[in-house]
């Protein structure tokens, strides 16, 4: 939910741009279209401390991403998890 108590269905464009051009964007595919279709995979490939290192992402944006992932049954990866392990986990989600 956002500050007004509404469910967060979409991410602001600034966050989407940061995810699509961030260090884990390649997890979503090679082309911008593939990455756009796999935005949840890209977002879930970050640990919270990693996402905070991306340009344009601060604590409030990280909270927003976390809520957005949670609404889809996902979460930031734990720092000990490998990004490659996550993609296998995501593929098994119905």
- Flag whether pLDDT at 1 surpasses 50: no
Q: Which sign, positive or negative, has the C-alpha torsion 69, 73, 77, 78?
A: positive
- Flag whether pLDDT at 53 surpasses 90: yes
- Flag whether pLDDT at 10 surpasses 50: yes
Which residues contact residue 37 at a Cβ distance below 8 angstroms, ignoring those fewer than 6 apart? 28, 29
How buried is 6 (Cβ within 10 angstroms: 0-12 exposed, 13-18 middle, 19+ buried)? exposed
d(CA 63, CA 76): 10
- Flag whether pLDDT at 63 surpasses 80: yes
Where does the pLDDT of residue 9 fall: very low under 50, low under 70, confident under 90, or very high at 90 and above? Answer: confident
Closest C-alpha to 51, from 15, 80, 87, 11: 15
Domain ranges of the chain: 13-91
């Amino acid at each position: 939910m956002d500050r007004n108590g509404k469910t967060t269905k979409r991410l602001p464009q600034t966050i989407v741009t940061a995810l699509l051009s961030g260090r884990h964007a390649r997890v979503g595919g090679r082309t911008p279209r593939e990455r756009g279709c796999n935005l949840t995979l890209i977002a879930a490939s970050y640990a919270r401390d990693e996402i905070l290192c991306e340009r344009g992402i601060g604590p409030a944006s990280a909270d927003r991403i976390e809520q957005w992932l949670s609404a889809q049954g996902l979460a930031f990866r734990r720092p000990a998890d490998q990004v490659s392990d996550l993609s296998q986990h995501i593929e098994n989600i119905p």
